[in-house]
Structure 1
Amino acid sequence: MHHEIGDAGLGLSSWGYPRGGMGAVSDALKDSAEEFGAEVRTNAPVERILQRNGRVTGVVLEGGEELEADIVVAATHPRITFLEQLGREELPDEFVGAIERWNSRSGVVKINLALSELPDFTADPGRGDHLGGAIELAHSIDYIEEAFQDARRGEPARRPFSDGVIPTVFDRTLCPEGYHIMSLFTQWVPHEWSKEPHREELEAYADRVIDGYGELAPNLKSAIMHRQVLGPYDMEQDIGLIGGNIFHGELTAEQLFHMRPAPGYADYRTPIRGLYQASSATHAGGGVCAIPAYNCVREIRRDRRRERLKERLTLRNRG
């Protein structure tokens, strides 16, 4: 549902393709930040967030380098931010409990395909605008429900649901002329698969997804030159998505709005003054919408204005 309410400027349920791939979004943010005087450092993981007397003082990078700062904005998963980089002992017990209970499960498997040609769908043969939109493997509501219930029973879906896109229909910078990339967002596998690779089962699951598309586009299977299959375990180990959840936490009723990610801290602030959160675990979730970061900056500016006003009033009273 979160995916379907997106609007990239073309109306409800519209999405955009960044030219050059998703990495182009990061590059654009980097270029924009540097224009405003920011220094952007990559390959510099934060090992620890420093605080003194309830106020953030900076961070320590892997390797020991210490950076002083009176404002730190964390876009990492809340368990990483608060339980690893900061530490339970630095935080109120009630807040720690909320973060420990934060539900970050996922049954998503991402499949990327390198193709020698575009899939040719029997229902609408040839190349057309239909190949530029979402191509769903979801024959009915019952079909989707059956896939979900399989995972609830601890089994990968026998007939998986999939939402596929072919970005190379519009963006020819992603691969050589004549070739294409197809990206599949598929569900479901058991949540417990985030704990172990389950490689063989994942590959068999991917076979079923591709078989499903193959029934609709008979040339697809022979067009596949290479495939990449990423399960919940891969997403956690390789990208830092705890549980493989792309939203840093499930978008369920008890984890939305004022509960995201913890009661009393849905305003992008934290129990540590000067430490703010802007991850997808805050409102309004993920989707590369930048809403968490935008709202977080707004609250930082409000706090800075309050602090400056307080300083002026203090000086006036002293005078």
Structure 2
Amino acid sequence: MTADPRRTEAVHPAHADLDRLDLRALVDAFVDDQQDAVRAVQAAAPALTGAVGAALPRLRAGGRLVYAGAGTSGRLGVLDATELTPTFSWPPERAVPLIAGGEGAIRHAVEGAEDSVQAGQDDVRAAGVGRDDVLLALAASGTTPYVLGAIHAARAAGALTVGIANNPDTPLLAAVDCPVLLDTGPEVISGSTRLKAGTAQKIALNTLSSALMVQLGKVYGNLMVDMRASNEKLQGRALRLVVHATGADEAAARTALAQADGHVKTAVVMLLLGVDASHAEARLRAAGGQARAALERP
């Protein structure tokens, strides 16, 4: 049998006796191996920087982040897309997760779903992907047919394509505009890319989407000010953020948040400039949603 050239499919040379380790050694083996995920993303920082820079003009023009993946990669895409709304008030319709096998594949494996190039193409077309959109294509192997189909359809529609894979010299990385290699190598449990390959993908997605949100004005300093307090936990967080950003006391911060309909960024601008909610909102609109720019405008 011909050896599989993908490093993620190789047998890890250091863990042939994994099933014979005592409990502490077993846990250490898994934890220690995760360090390779961090190193892989560090090595990919220039590629991630390029991807963020290429994506920004599309998103500023009203485009969407569209994620495409299968299995673990697909679920990580769903997670990243879902968390952008509560964290940054990113409109949910502008974060579109596509996973091989559909929504049912989030909780249950859909056998064979990832093997269809046509399914990937169909899902991208059904999502109406266009020129202002950014496709984030995820596949540890770098060879998943569903994801390759999604890339093909997205490029045909004029979208920017960013590819994240854990094996070098793979079709996915060759097919996209912005290739990001996360070279994590063999897994402790051979072939189980839900381990450090998945960790590296999660770090890369966190980095990419968070950097985009900062550049799009969703953060003031290092505070997540573009959020709305929609439950008790978030109300407490919003209050603390407003107090920290403005130096106001809790009573003033609470009043401003109430007048700002729970929107932290509006409350911050209100308090720092001494204006009401409507004036704060107008300044933010004029500044493209950038809190710092709204505060510095004459």
Q: Same fold (TM over 0.5)?
A: no
Higher helix share: 2
Higher strand share: 1
Output the TM-score relative to the length of structure 1. Answer: 0.25
